[in-house]
Chain A
Amino acid sequence: MTERTLARNIRRLTLTIAIAFLIASIGVGYWTVVAASDLNADPFNPRLIAAVRDRPRGKIVDSSGRVLAESAKIGDAYRRRYPDRSLAQVVGYASFKYGASGVEGAYQESLIGQDPSDLLGQWKARYLGEHGVPGSVVLGLDPKVQLAAATALGGRRGAIVALDPKTGRILASVSVPSYDANALVDPAQQDVAWQQLNDAKDKPLINRVAQGLYPPGSTMKIITAAAALENGFDPNQKIRVDDPYQADRSWGDYYVRSSSGAHGDYDMSLAFQRSENIYFAKVGLTIGAQKLALMAQKFGIGHAPALDLPAAKGQLSNNGQLDRPTLLADTSYGQGELLTSPLQMAMVAATVANHGVQVQPHYATEIRDGSGGILRTIGGGAPDQIISPATAATLTGYLVQAVEAPGAFAFGAKIAGVHVAGKTGTAETPSGSPHGWFVGFAPAEDPQVAVAVIIENAGQGGVDAAPLGGAVMRAVLGK
């Protein structure tokens, strides 16, 4: 009898072991087959970089052909050289030890002559160790605009992004503080540099343009207004504003405050000029949480833009819902729990500029092969009509007023001879002085550029940011 139970136990243990082997096999299959393409393209995977240790990588250039990254032979290995510090987070680095980031990481395969469009080349490289001539990546950046943006921001922490509202091509991208990527590819300095950059409190490795998240402040009012206009709200209706405001006693001692201590009747145009919080809070409460949330989602808040570099998704609120009246009111004028990236707000401006059609942003425009021929062009994905052209036109009118009307907050963005549309924002932060925002586009009639500026802990908030937006747009328009 005991032999039988022992035999049974042995059989059961063996069966358990066999099942465990099956599970282990599935686990191995997951990494080798299912997750393989993600991991093989992971910028931290050293394989692609090391494959070209003894050969140069391709160049990264801007739209004028100016070199942003190239390989130089030092000793018996090739090392990257990065001339423009203001583009450190965009161009990135390709370190033998710490992997690659930015364009260096995202277009890694193209830069070592294994562009995904070239299947035969990839196969040869993998199985025969034969490498094609490395290709180059052309970015859409415009050197004059980039210089203007870098100069305008100076040493202040923050970010500026300018893009073409019709195509999504990014014209300028500045994130401060920046860093010297040359130190990360120098074997003598890389460890110290890597440690310092990772430990630094102000996170220089982060591309603030796409990965920095901030409360959008009053720039959010564009989305609130769009939601209202699209849902039949009459912008000419006068709404009574009395500071401080609460909808009913259930708000307790919570109030929405007007930045100008306003008492009076406001329509949408005046509310934009004065950036009146109470007006937009009332608008938000009128149209309701669902419609506001839907519009914010359409504009891309809460999901990452389809950028060719890593981008943050931001959030409408901590749980993605506007489930309390006070949260709805706060969100309507850009506070609450909202978080957006400068790129997302630039896209908001670009969508209004482009008659309500949203295009996806992109840094790179072309991949070229070793002999300079175009392998493929990079576009911004399918355009999407977010709001009606009529709504976009109405909003454009208000945004021009917000720059040009007497006493408008965004006066600093004015350009002589051109109608500029724009909106400032002042984002309250738990610590330090508020962040200053400006988003806008120009010329209002035929937009060439949309821009977003954020200055962290700016002294006076949005008023400080508007002139920077103006400077960048001037550079694009050649004024």
Chain B
Amino acid sequence: MIGARPAARLVELRLLIWVAALTLAGYVAVVAAASGRFAWYEIAVPVAVLAVFGALHVFLVSVGFRGDQLLLPIAVGLTGIGFILVERLAPNLLLQQLSWLVIAAGAFCITILVPRDLTVLARYKYTWALLGVLLLVSPLLPVIGREINGARIWVGIAGVAQFEPWELVKIALVIFFAAYLEEYREVLSTPPRRFGPIPVPPIPYLLPIVGMWTVAMLVMVFEKDLGATLLFFGIFLAMLYLATGEPVYTLLGLVMLIGGGFVAYHAFGHVAARIDVWLAPFDSELRFDEAYQLTQGLFSLANGGVLGAGLGNGMPERIPVVWSDFVFDAFTEEVGFAGALALLGLYLVFVYRGMLVALRAPTTFLQLLAGGLSFIVAFQTLVIVGGNAKLIPLTGITLPFVAYGGSSLVTNFMLCGLLLRVSDITARVRR
């Protein structure tokens, strides 16, 4: 699909210059605030980060890529903010994150070049489903499965490296859903009978909903990960809606999810604990115990005010595991409500643009694929920001591109790469 001749990408380049300025300014502020001085050699790290961003642009230009020019700058802009926050909150993890960025960039390039034809992905849909399920259960296996912070969602070798397979599952599942729903959407969206306002599709087509729900509940029970459950089911419901346009399915799914959650609340301690913390974090029994993280996060938000305490001048480090779970609160504390709005604005632009890619994509499969991928970014952002701001119970979902973490960075870059591929196909068809 890639054209042989290089093609200039001027919009992308201009936006990347803003990203560079933004990343440097933030990084300088954080370093200067931490040490009370600033030496020029300290910009080595952000320059290395920006070099990787630049390399991605050069790569796209050199392979004659014709896809979207807005998604990549926003993704790397958010990643740049992520690096500022890693330097601010956990400088000892900075080099590790930098090496993950290089891997993520590699994964991005591979996604752009291979597979040659995206439609091929649809043909192996059950392979993706199987892969997804395998990845999903892999943390439960002995030897490689690992439980960290009470959630069994990791695989890895002790002391070497850990990976959250869940992150990759997201993409596998979106591909599978897109292919599956493309095949069956006619049957799903034109039910033979209506029962009042409720469409009644043939039983075999209800099975996938029930099946997905079952898998989601199993994840919640055995891997003790509320976030994965929510994300997993959320993606499914959103894509089901995209394919069928029937809000009834979504409502049905939500009812099932809340029902399952209600049962889980009473049956499983880890679910009940999360909900209790959410309902009353300042409770005297909880505030120094399970709710400590959330209350510290809220203090952090409050300290932010409208314009923030200034980069490097807040106290977000009081929040336990702030660099992965609470980056949003940390960012808001230091740049204020104003900065938080800008950050949310960037996510919204990314998602909106992703949805435009979906709208313009030439086939149903590609439309569903792009819609699902964009939805992942929106949903993750909303769930973690909502959790950080006590709008919904806190989950272990990460803020896309910004939060520290190798698995999520690699996956998010692959996600971005896939969206770009879809837009590239669109651009070529419309020539």
Say yes or no: is A18 at the interface (Cβ < 8 Å to chain B): yes
Closest 6 CB pairs of A and B: A39-B302, A31-B301, A36-B302, A27-B389, A32-B337, A27-B391
Residues of B within 8 A of A14 (CB): 351-352, 355
Cβ-closest chain B residue relative to A50: B315
8 Å CB interface, A1-58 against B: 2-3, 5-14, 17-18, 20-21, 23-25, 27-33, 35-40, 42, 44-47, 50
**Contacts A32-B332, A35-B302 supplied; 7 other A-B pairs, CB < 8 Å:** A2-B364, A9-B245, A13-B371, A20-B382, A46-B315, A46-B318, A50-B318
Is there an interface contact between A32 and B340, defined as CB atoms closer than 8 Å?
A: yes
Is there an interface contact between B306 and A32, defined as CB atoms closer than 8 Å?
A: yes
Between A and B, 22 residue pairs with Cβ closer than 8 Å are: A2-B186, A5-B245, A9-B243, A10-B358, A11-B355, A13-B238, A17-B348, A17-B351, A21-B378, A24-B386, A25-B344, A27-B389, A28-B341, A29-B337, A31-B298, A32-B337, A36-B302, A36-B305, A40-B299, A46-B299, A46-B315, A126-B309
Is there an interface contact between B303 and A40, defined as CB atoms closer than 8 Å?
A: yes
8 Å CB interface, B77-112 against A: none
Residues of B within 8 A of A127 (CB): 310, 313
Cβ-closest chain B residue relative to A129: B313
* Cβ-defined partner of A32 (8 Å) among B284, B288, B305: B305
Residues of A within 8 A of B244 (CB): 9
* Cβ-defined partner of B348 (8 Å) among A18, A35, A45: A18
Residues of B within 8 A of A29 (CB): 337
8 Å CB interface, B332-365 against A: 332, 336-337, 340-341, 344, 347-348, 351-352, 355, 358-359, 364
Given contacts A6-B367, A24-B391, A28-B389, contact A17 B341 (CB under 8 A): no
Residues of A within 8 A of B298 (CB): 31, 35, 39
Cβ-closest chain B residue relative to A24: B385
Complex: how many Å from CA A6 to CA B178?
Answer: 12
Say yes or no: is B270 at the interface (Cβ < 8 Å to chain A): no
Say yes or no: is A194 at the interface (Cβ < 8 Å to chain B): yes
Is there an interface contact between A31 and B390, defined as CB atoms closer than 8 Å?
A: yes
Cβ-closest chain A residue relative to B36: A129
Complex: how many Å from CA A444 to CA B378?
Answer: 72
Nearest chain B CB to A182 CB, angstrom units: 19
Say yes or no: is B62 at the interface (Cβ < 8 Å to chain A): no
Residues of B within 8 A of A39 (CB): 298-299, 301-303
Residues of A within 8 A of B125 (CB): none
Task: Categorize the interface residue count of chain B.
Answer: 35 or more
Is there an interface contact between A13 and B375, defined as CB atoms closer than 8 Å?
A: yes
8 Å CB interface, A127-141 against B: 127, 129
Given contacts A27-B386, A33-B305, A47-B303, contact A13 B295 (CB under 8 A): no
Say yes or no: is A98 at the interface (Cβ < 8 Å to chain B): yes
Given contacts A29-B337, A32-B304, A36-B305, contact A17 B389 (CB under 8 A): no
* Cβ-defined partner of B391 (8 Å) among A23, A32, A46: A23
Residues of B within 8 A of A45 (CB): 299, 302
Complex: how many Å from CA A214 to CA B249?
Answer: 55
Nearest chain B CB to A171 CB, angstrom units: 29
Cβ-closest chain A residue relative to B189: A5
Complex: how many Å from CA A13 to CA B186?
Answer: 19
Is there an interface contact between B241 and A28, defined as CB atoms closer than 8 Å?
A: no
The number of inter-chain residue pairs (CB within 8 angstroms) is 136
Given contacts A25-B341, A36-B302, contact A17 B332 (CB under 8 A): no
* Cβ-defined partner of A13 (8 Å) among B242, B301, B341, B364: B242
Cβ-closest chain A residue relative to B391: A27
* Cβ-defined partner of A7 (8 Å) among B296, B341, B359, B382: B359
Is there an interface contact between A11 and B389, defined as CB atoms closer than 8 Å?
A: no
Given contacts A2-B186, A8-B245, A10-B242, contact A28 B337 (CB under 8 A): yes
Nearest chain B CB to A402 CB, angstrom units: 39
**Residue interface mask A174-208, B partner, CB < 8 A = 1:** 00000000000000000000100010000000000
Main secondary structure of the interface of B (DSSP, over half): helix
Nearest chain A CB to B299 CB, angstrom units: 5
Cβ-closest chain A residue relative to B386: A24
Residues of A within 8 A of B378 (CB): 17, 20-21
Residues of B within 8 A of A18 (CB): 348, 352
Say yes or no: is B287 at the interface (Cβ < 8 Å to chain A): yes
Is there an interface contact between A13 and B302, defined as CB atoms closer than 8 Å?
A: no
Residues of A within 8 A of B303 (CB): 36, 39-40, 47
Cβ-closest chain A residue relative to B185: A2
Residues of B within 8 A of A24 (CB): 344, 382, 385-386, 389, 391
Complex: how many Å from CA A25 to CA B382?
Answer: 10
Complex: how many Å from CA A126 to CA B299?
Answer: 15
Is there an interface contact between A32 and B315, defined as CB atoms closer than 8 Å?
A: no
Residues of B within 8 A of A5 (CB): 189, 245
Residues of B within 8 A of A7 (CB): 359
Is there an interface contact between A9 and B242, defined as CB atoms closer than 8 Å?
A: yes
**Residue interface mask A67-100, B partner, CB < 8 A = 1:** 0000000000000000000000000000000100
Nearest chain B CB to A36 CB, angstrom units: 4
Complex: how many Å from CA A13 to CA B381?
Answer: 15
Complex: how many Å from CA A33 to CA B296?
Answer: 16
Complex: how many Å from CA A345 to CA B123?
Answer: 80
Nearest chain A CB to B302 CB, angstrom units: 3
Complex: how many Å from CA A33 to CA B307?
Answer: 10
Residues of A within 8 A of B238 (CB): 13
Cβ-closest chain A residue relative to B367: A6
8 Å CB interface, A235-250 against B: none
Complex: how many Å from CA A35 to CA B304?
Answer: 11
Residues of A within 8 A of B245 (CB): 5-6, 8-9
Is there an interface contact between A32 and B382, defined as CB atoms closer than 8 Å?
A: no
Residue among B287, B364, B389 with most chain A CB within 10 A: B389
Given contacts A27-B390, A42-B299, contact A6 B351 (CB under 8 A): no
* Cβ-defined partner of A44 (8 Å) among B242, B295, B352, B386: B295
Complex: how many Å from CA A27 to CA B241?
Answer: 26
Nearest chain A CB to B246 CB, angstrom units: 9
Residues of B within 8 A of A30 (CB): 389
Is there an interface contact between A32 and B302, defined as CB atoms closer than 8 Å?
A: yes
Residues of A within 8 A of B371 (CB): 10, 13
Residues of A within 8 A of B351 (CB): 14, 17
Complex: how many Å from CA A36 to CA B299?
Answer: 8
Nearest chain A CB to B373 CB, angstrom units: 12
Complex: how many Å from CA A75 to CA B297?
Answer: 30
Cβ-closest chain B residue relative to A31: B301
Residues of B within 8 A of A11 (CB): 355, 359
Complex: how many Å from CA A5 to CA B246?
Answer: 11
Residues of B within 8 A of A38 (CB): 302
Complex: how many Å from CA A3 to CA B344?
Answer: 30
Complex: how many Å from CA A35 to CA B391?
Answer: 14
Given contacts A6-B242, A13-B371, A42-B299, contact A21 B347 (CB under 8 A): yes
Is there an interface contact between A10 and B364, defined as CB atoms closer than 8 Å?
A: no
Residues of B within 8 A of A33 (CB): 305-306, 337
Is there an interface contact between B302 and A31, defined as CB atoms closer than 8 Å?
A: yes
Nearest chain A CB to B394 CB, angstrom units: 13
8 Å CB interface, B178-217 against A: 185-186, 189
Is there an interface contact between B318 and A21, defined as CB atoms closer than 8 Å?
A: no
Given contacts A21-B347, A126-B309, contact A28 B242 (CB under 8 A): no
Residue among A38, A42, A47, A194 with most chain B CB within 10 A: A47
